[in-house]
Amino acid sequence: MTQETQAPAPPRRPVRQLLAASVGNAVEWYDWYAYTFLATYIAAQVFPESADDSLVPLLSTFAVFAVGFFMRPVGGLLMGAVADRHGRRAALTTTILLMGGSSLLVGLTPSYASAGLAAPVVLVTARLLQGLSVGGEFAASTTFLVESAGPGRRGLFSSFQYVSTTLGQLAASGLAAVLVSTLGDGPMGEWGWRVPFLLGAVLSLVGFWIRRGAEETLRMPEHPAAPRPGLFDALRHHPRASLLICGITAGGTLAYYTWTSYLPTYAELSGVDKGDTLFASTLALAFFAALQPLGGLLSDRFGRKPPLLFFGLGFTLLAVALLRAVDSLTSLLLVACAGMVLLTGFTSVSAAVNAEIFPARVRAAGIGFPYSLTVALFGGTAPYLGTLFRELDRPGLFAWYVSALCLLSSLVYLRLPETAHRDLDR
């Protein structure tokens, strides 16, 4: 051990560490998905079609674009740098405060009728902050989860990244459904859509309190003047690892967003009742969350490459057949659950694999930027491309696109070194 650094002792309270990452991550994604589920009500208040100002529809388009395709990679880079320079706990508390503040801002956004152009400006600002927070959350919580795990448990701990993400999504959709059925369209459109965001701000404070009590997992410099990693050190000194993150993530994020976000719309366009699609997707998401710890445990025992190849080759061979089979509630439920089983091979281990590729000094930023950029390019565009292919009367091409990208990621998995049983650099 040099005089410059001091290695942290293994966390004495691994359950508290797991709770700190998981609860905060669930709250982050609850806030994020609440906007998705309530977007129509928000748009009617903030982006009305009758608005005289031509900037209103432009701002509406900008909000979606900026958050989905710009702020998440920026958040991954900036918050990853915070985690590498000042510690994982500092980044985790920052991201959840950002999300809580932006959720409060959404909940308090004035209507266009009362504030004019200021209303969409406030909402765009809130969504930009949410994008920054979500982009940084994966980098910080991934490194924190994996570094908090005991020997032989990194896969198990990393699997809770998607457990908590899915629980946040289910909580947001459940609350939105209860409010809509209880209040009706009138009160819901006037004020009911604000409730989930105000609640999200309160939940963020709870997550902040839990995270403040977590133990730091980063080896911090002993001397205050010791050099800290620069913003682009990971990209500059570890370009191969950065490209590996992109290759590992591309097929996985496309399959994930296809099965969790686009599949209900795809089924509805294929003739399945809208209520049935929501029912099937909710059951499939709950099933998916339950599978994650099992996938993580198996990867701790047998390695990271087998589940990754199970996912990649499975979607390469079956994506086209699975999507073609969707034509009823029963087939949708079977296809959704089959996809979730395959997808678990990626989601349950990706956080561990990403963290094991980079040295601790630049781990968070090294993961955050290439991961978020790949998600923006391939995951965030999945629903739009699926809809575009259908509008071009070539819906089957989208399934082949999923299959092809998963094949490319499978080739990356074949070349990956096995890292499950190596000591983690700290």
Distance, CA of 73 to CA of 135 (rounded, Å): 6
Q: What pLDDT is attached to residue 1?
A: 39
pLDDT-derived band at 7, boundaries 50, 70, 90:
very low
Q: What pLDDT is attached to residue 130?
A: 86
What's the whole-number mean pLDDT along residues 45-69? 60
What's the whole-number mean pLDDT along residues 240-250? 94
Q: What pLDDT is attached to residue 315?
A: 97
Of all residues in the chain, the percent with pLDDT exceeding 90 is 40
Q: What pLDDT is attached to residue 306?
A: 96
What's the whole-number mean pLDDT along residues 242-246? 93
pLDDT digits (tens, 9 = 90+) for 251-274: 999 999 999 888 888 888 888 887
What's the whole-number mean pLDDT along residues 53-70? 57
Residue 398: is its pLDDT beyond 50?
Answer: yes
pLDDT-derived band at 12, boundaries 50, 70, 90:
low
pLDDT-derived band at 6, boundaries 50, 70, 90:
very low
> What backbone phi and psi angles, to 5 degrees, belong to 14?
-60, -30
Residue 384: is its pLDDT beyond 60?
Answer: yes
pTM for this prediction: 0.86
What's the whole-number mean pLDDT along residues 367-381? 88
User: In sequence order, what are the residues at sequence separation of 6 or more whose Cβ sits closer than 8 angstroms to the Cβ of residue 90?
Assistant: 82, 83
Q: What pLDDT is attached to residue 353?
A: 93
C-alpha torsion sign, points 385, 391, 393, 396: positive
Q: What pLDDT is attached to residue 123?
A: 86
Residue 21: is its pLDDT beyond 50?
Answer: yes
Residue 4: is its pLDDT beyond 50?
Answer: no
Residue 349: is its pLDDT beyond 50?
Answer: yes
Domains of the chain: 12-212 (1.20.1250.20), 231-417 (1.20.1250.20)
